[in-house]
Amino acid sequence: MIGNLDHSILQQLWWLITSVVGSLFLFLTFVQGGQTLIFTTASTEEEKSLIINTMGRKWELTFTTLVLFGGALFAAFPLFYATSFGGAYWVWMLILFTFIVQAVSYEFRKKPDNVLGARTYEIFMCINGSVGLILIGAAVGTFFTGSRFSLNLYNSVTWATPYHGLEAALNPFNLALGLFLMFLARILGAMYIVNHVDHENLVKRARKATWINLLWALPFLLTVLIGFVTMDGFAVDPATGVVSMEKGKYLTNLLEMPVVLLLLLGGLGSVIYGVAATGFLGKNSGIWFGGIGTVLVGLAIFSLAGYNNTAFYPSITDLQSSLTIYNASSSKYTLTVMSYVALAVPFVLAYVAYVWKLMNAKKLDIAELTGEDANEMY
Amino acid sequence: MAGARHFAATTHKEDIVEDQLLTTVDWARAQFALTAMYHWIFVPLTLGLSFLIAFFESIYVKTGNEEWKKLTKFWMTLFGINFAIGVATGIILEFQFGTNWSNYSWMVGDIFGAPLAIEGIFAFFIEATFFAVMFFGWHRVSKGFHLFSTWMVAIGSNLSAVWILVANGWMQFPIGMNFNPDTARFEMQNFWEVALSPVAVHKFTHTTSSAFLLAALFVVGISALFLLQERHQKMAKRSMVVAAVFGFIASIFVAFTGDEAAFSVAQRQPMKLAAMEGLYVGQEKAPIIAMGIINSSKKPGDDLPAFYQEVKIPGLLSLLANRDPNSFVPGINDLVFGNAERNIIGAEQRMVTGKIALAELARYKYAKDTGDDGESAAALAIFDQHKGDLGYGYLNNPAEAAPPVATTFYSFHIMVVLGTLFPVIFLLVLYFAYKGTLEYQRWLNLACFFSIFLGYVAQQAGWVVAEVGRQPWAIQGLLPVGMASTNIAASNVQTTFFMFLTLFTALLIAEIRIIMKQIKIGPEA
């Protein structure tokens, strides 16, 4: 059945699947956002522990989604994997370092004899939630601003700068996207605390943190949105595959793909409603509006970059080396196999949701942190 | 590095200096080895301990005895500390394929990426989802669902091993694919051949059973320490009995799967087998070297003796390799220079074929690029006749086809000797447990404790055999490591190597200290 689909349909389908995984990762970065709130929203050790323990029960899901995002890109778009990771070397390495230190921080922070001290592990978490996300945003930003690389006839990448991707973080658009993602994660983190923690003072401050971080996010969001509607983009001739610069390409994409425009506006609206509901209306369910909104915004960003005859990983050094979802993808056979595998994703989502519901049925409070299972707490 | 790389370099805007490339490869290899070896300190314990914890909790649920719950939670605490750093090193391995081995990622990503993605979908999410229940769900879910979650963590962990070992198995024995000259990469033709490759099956069964063995040694060893210290004796003896049964069964399985894996190596990677035994000249009734000191000056084709001293068991290598003690086993010289009498084509001859394939591939790509259809068709026809030896075309010297013999030989023998020792330890533990005198066997408890470290040595040695024995290939016979790396200045990879070394070492020290402290605190905490 899937084998009868055209290669180009499978390539578009797999861009959608990887976009969904990437967007779910953006939602789950509420964990990273929460990690940065321990220095701004928690005022006591007790509150800090509540934040870390509530995020600590979900950190692995975020981490796993990132790993799956990488695996899906490798399987479906290996040329992107080879070009971006091998070329923008330092950006990805630094992102990875922030995730290594995050992975151990939850488990090690409170354990006696942890060598580096609890404070160091808290700083690691904060670095992951700030530097890690800014760099991820900068990397995604290059989908629109381009990178300095070229490919030879064997698709072997050569990076044109000795900074190997770090230059991306200095581009104002990329940096704005990174900072927006960081503040968005902080908004989501605060919403999740409100939803899942039973502690009056902390919840009160988390509610306030949602709209304060929204205010911080706004200038960066506006920079990104203005960039989308004004910047030139990397268009692909569907007949020849030739890449050329096109004025207002991403605005054209928004107008020619109204669904994407709706995803973007609906997503942003949903996040803003989530903030209003949490920050001003006293509701606890803001995280769901924020989360769904984030997924929709993520889908819009990835769609803008990859669909409508657009090069999703453009080269500004050699336009014809730019990657599209067609020239960067796996073979039809591999995408067909992977599509059958992807049929398991709804099942995975179902059991993740079921366990999430079970584990979140009761809010986290101080009594649980100091009770019978205190030794297991982060 | 003639052929494609040379041709490729002419199309780059900046030329890549040959020496620099080699250095980059060296650092990339060092970094991958470092990460993989650190990763494999933590992962085998996760794979095996997860099942032991599931056994302990099952006994608790069945008996309702709170002491078993306390015991379960103690081992779970150690599991959690170890698990986190395993995850941290694991993500690096996945992304390192892209950062340090980008040519590899493109050339085989069509095949290699799929198992990694499947691993994420089918295994990692099970682990991640149920891990939180296992640690924080004692009072949030029912007792039955908690036990179910613990089992799911064990199953999920081991499922992840399936897919990464399928990927590794494919690197050792590439099947189910074809080379596409238009995209300049290998593309998957048959998923089931990749997923059910006999090498992958042997890798999975041998690797996971050895991980179970290590976890059993860990539990037995730590419990033995408690007995030596006369602390938590009841809990320690209970843990030891369960772990020793598990470990003994695993040991038997390790021996069986190890034999199957060696047979598989003999059939599909004869050069690796020759290096494992330091066999330079092929022979009938080939012996296994029970013990030996390798002559480090020995090179393929020279007349020096392979060993300074050795103890041989005649015919055993032939039996292991071909299931026939009288059969012929090829040596390194046969595989490097060929052996017409035995109909073995050596690397020397395959290099000639491989270089023709590379030259024709370059001619084909150039002709396609310039729109010369006649030239491209002619080049493709010749390429197709010679592409089977494509990888050999990248070699400069036929002796490069042989892996480092001493490292492979010693690692293999250390692994085998230790693998033979461990079931004896488990049997002794079970015997004295049956007699009720376990706590009085000070010598045995000391041996059990030190066996933890020997277990790790055996684990690392096993992977050294598998990976060093595969050299010079990233993909056996098709892609040497020198062609697989990223085009990047060596200083970048060198810098990240030392960053990883510093970070991993600091985290390892922290982990060991935390675990030691938890052991000191014991299950009463």
Q: How confident is the model at residue B117 (pLDDT cuts 50, 70, 90)?
A: confident
User: How many domains would you assign to chain A?
Assistant: 1
More confident residue, B152 or B90: B152
Residue A8 falls within a domain, yes or no?
A: yes
Residue A268 falls within a domain, yes or no?
A: no
At residue B120, the pLDDT reads 86
Q: Quick check: B13 pLDDT over 80?
A: no
The percentage of chain B sitting over the pLDDT mark of 90, rounded to a whole number, equals 82
Residue A81 falls within a domain, yes or no?
A: yes
Q: How confident is the model at residue B402 (pLDDT cuts 50, 70, 90)?
A: very high
Q: Are A317 and B100 inside 8 Å of each other by CB?
A: no
Mean per-residue pLDDT of chain B = 91
At residue A370, the pLDDT reads 87
Q: How confident is the model at residue B423 (pLDDT cuts 50, 70, 90)?
A: very high
Residues 187-246 in A contacting B (C-alpha not used; CB under 8 Å)? none
Q: Which residue range is the domain that position A47 belongs to?
A: 2-219+311-376
Which of A92, A107, A115 comes nearest B99 by C-beta? A92
Which of B130, B184, B521 comes nearest A154 by C-beta? B184
At residue B15, the pLDDT reads 40
Q: Quick check: B340 pLDDT over 60?
A: yes
Q: How confident is the model at residue B84 (pLDDT cuts 50, 70, 90)?
A: confident
Residues 75-134 in A contacting B (C-alpha not used; CB under 8 Å)? 75-76, 78-79, 81-87, 89-90, 92-93, 96-97, 99-101, 103-104, 106-108, 111-116
Q: Give pLDDT tens digits for B227-245.
A: 999 999 999 999 999 999 9
Phi and psi at residue A343, to the nearest 5°: -60, -20
Alpha-carbon separation of residue B61 from A267, A355, A373, B241, B246 (angstroms)? 46, 20, 18, 18, 19
At residue B121, the pLDDT reads 87
Tell me the angle at which helices A258-279 and A172-196 cross, rounded to the nearest 10 degrees. 50
At residue B101, the pLDDT reads 93
List the domain boundaries for chain B.
Answer: 4-276+402-520, 283-335, 347-394
Residue A248 falls within a domain, yes or no?
A: no
Q: Are A376 and B509 inside 8 Å of each other by CB?
A: no
Which of A68, A78, A86 comes nearest B486 by C-beta? A86
B89 in reach of chain A (CB within 8 A): yes
- Is B435 exposed, middle or buried, given 0-12, 13-18 or 19+ CB atoms closer than 10 A? exposed
At residue A377, the pLDDT reads 81
Q: For residue B147, which amino acid is it? A: L
Q: How confident is the model at residue B369 (pLDDT cuts 50, 70, 90)?
A: confident
Residue A244 falls within a domain, yes or no?
A: no
How far is Cα A70 from Cα A81, in angstroms, rounded to an integer?
A: 8
- What is the mean pLDDT of the segment spanning B503-507? 92
Phi and psi at residue B260, to the nearest 5°: -65, -40
Q: Quick check: B128 pLDDT over 70?
A: yes
Under 8 Å between Cβ of B75 and B518 = no
Residue A242 falls within a domain, yes or no?
A: no
Residue A363 falls within a domain, yes or no?
A: yes
Q: Which residues of chain A have pLDDT under 50?
A: none
DSSP B123: I
Alpha-carbon separation of residue A318 from A138, A152, A164, A234, A325 (angstroms)? 20, 10, 16, 12, 17
At residue B525, the pLDDT reads 53
Considering only CB atoms, which chain B residues are within 8 Å of A351?
A: 129
As for the ipTM of the complex, it is 0.90
